[in-house]
A and B are shown apart, each in its own frame.
Chain A
Amino acid sequence: MLDKLRHLPRDARDTLFLLLVIAWVLLPQLGRLPLWCSALALLVLGWRAQLAWTARALPSRWWLLALLALTIGATWLTHRTLLGRDAGVTLIVVLLTLKTLELRARRDAFVVFFLSFFAMLTNFFFSQSLLTAAAMLVATMGLLTALVNTHMPVGKPPLREAARTAAKMALLGAPLMLVLFMLFPRLAPLWGMPGDAMAGRSGLSATMEVGTIAELALDDSIAMRVRFEGLPPRQSDLYFRGPVLSTLQGRQWLALRSGFPTRMQEPANLNVEGPAIRYQVTLEPNNRPWIFVLDAALEKPAAPGMELRMTPELQWLADRPVADLLRYSAQSQIRFSHGPARRTAALQDYLELPPGFNPLTMQWAAELRRNPEIGRDPARLVEFALQHLRSGGYSYTLEPGIYGPDTADEFWFNLRTGFCEHIASAFVVLMRSLDIPARIVTGYQGGEANAVDGYWVVRQSDAHAWTEVWLAGRGWVRVDPTSAVAPGRTGSAQRLQQRRGVIATAMDAVNPQVWFNLRATWEAVNNSWNQWVLNYSGGTQLDLLRNIGFTSPSWEDLGLVLIALIVATSVLGAGWTLWERHRHDPWLRLLERAARALSAAGWPVAPNSPPRSLADLVQQRMGPTDPRTPAITAWLLRLEALRYARAGGALGTLSELQHEFTRLPWPRRPPSPRA
Chain B
Amino acid sequence: MLLTQRNVYILPTRPGFMLAATLLVLLVGSINYQLNLGYLLTFLLSGSALIGMHLCHGTLRGLTLQLLPPQACFAGRSTTIGVDLVSTRTTVRHGIALSVLGAHQWVWTDVPPQGRATVQVAFKPERRGQRPIPALTAETRFPLGTFRVWTVWQPASRVLVYPAPELHAPPLPEGEPRGGGAVARSQRSSGEFDGVRAYRRGDPLKLVVWKKFAKAEELVSRDTYHAQRFELWLDLALAAPGHNPPSGAPLEHALSRLCAWILEAERQGLDYGLRLGPQQISPANGEAHKRQCLEALARYGAQG
Q: Which residues of A contact B (CB under 8 A)?
A: 85, 106-107, 110, 114, 117-118, 120-121, 124-125, 128, 132-133, 136, 140, 144, 147-148, 150-155, 157, 161-162, 165-166, 168-170, 172-177, 180-181, 184, 186-187, 189-191, 193, 197, 323-324, 533-536, 577, 580-581, 584-585
CB interface residues, B 1-55, toward A, < 8 Å: 2, 4-6, 15, 18-19, 22, 25-26, 28-41, 43-52, 55
Q: Is B246 an interface residue (CB 8 A)?
A: no
CB-based contact A114/B19 at 8 Å: yes
> Given B15, B44, B48, B108, which contacts A110 in the complex, CB threshold below 8 Å?
B15
- Asked if A121 and B143 sit within 8 Å, CB to CB, the answer is no
A172 engages B141 (CB within 8 Å): no
- The answer to whether A154 and B108 touch across the interface, beta carbons within 8 angstroms, is yes
- List chain A residues, Cβ under 8 A from B109: 154
Alpha-carbon distance A458/B62, docked complex (angstroms): 60
Residues of chain B contacted by A323 (CB below 8 angstroms): 34
Q: Is the CB of A133 within 8 A of B40?
A: yes
Interface contact A140-B43, CB-CB below 8 Å:
no
Among B6, B51, B55, B141, which residue has the most Cβ atoms of chain A within 10 A?
B51
- Chain A interface SS verdict (over half): helix
Q: Which residues of A contact B173 (CB under 8 A)?
A: none
Q: Is the CB of B33 within 8 A of A114?
A: no
Give the chain A neighbours of B52 by CB distance below 8 A: 169
Q: Are B95 and A154 in contact (CB under 8 A)?
A: yes
- Which chain B residues lie closer than 8 Å to A581 at the CB level? 4-6
Complex alpha-carbon distance, A162 and B94, angstroms: 10
Q: Please, which residues of chain A bring their CB within 8 A of the CB of B45?
A: 117, 140
User: A96 CB to closest chain B CB, in angstroms?
Assistant: 13
- Check: B238 CB closer than 8 A to any chain A CB: no
Q: B47, A128: Cβ atoms under 8 Å?
A: no
Q: Which residues of B contact A580 (CB under 8 A)?
A: 4-5
Which secondary structure dominates where chain B touches chain A? helix
CB of A147 within 8 A of CB of B29, answer: no
Assembled-state Cα–Cα distance A128/B142 (Å): 32
Does the CB pair B46–A189 fall under 8 Å? no
- The answer to the question of B283 belonging to the interface, with a C-beta cut-off of 8 Å to chain A, is no
Asked whether B18 lies within 8 Å of A170 as measured between CB atoms, the reply is no
Q: In this complex, what residue of A is CB-closest to B53?
A: A169
Residue of chain B at shortest CB distance from A588: B2
- Between A and B, 30 residue pairs with Cβ closer than 8 Å are A85-B33, A118-B25, A120-B41, A133-B40, A136-B37, A140-B45, A153-B95, A154-B95, A165-B143, A166-B48, A168-B55, A169-B47, A170-B47, A173-B44, A173-B49, A174-B47, A175-B47, A176-B50, A177-B40, A177-B47, A180-B39, A180-B46, A180-B47, A181-B40, A189-B31, A189-B34, A197-B33, A533-B40, A535-B36, A580-B4
**CB distance A117 to B142 under 8 Å?**
no
B18 surroundings in chain A (CB, below 8 A): 110, 114
- Please determine whether A187 and B26 come into contact, CB atoms closer than 8 angstroms: no
Q: Taking A128-B37, A173-B50 as contacts, is the C-beta distance between A154 and B94 under 8 angstroms? A: yes
Question: Would A577 and B110 count as touching, CB distance under 8 A?
Answer: no
Beyond A154-B95, A189-B32, list 6 extra A-B contacts (CB 8 Å).
Answer: A121-B38, A125-B33, A152-B94, A157-B94, A533-B37, A585-B2
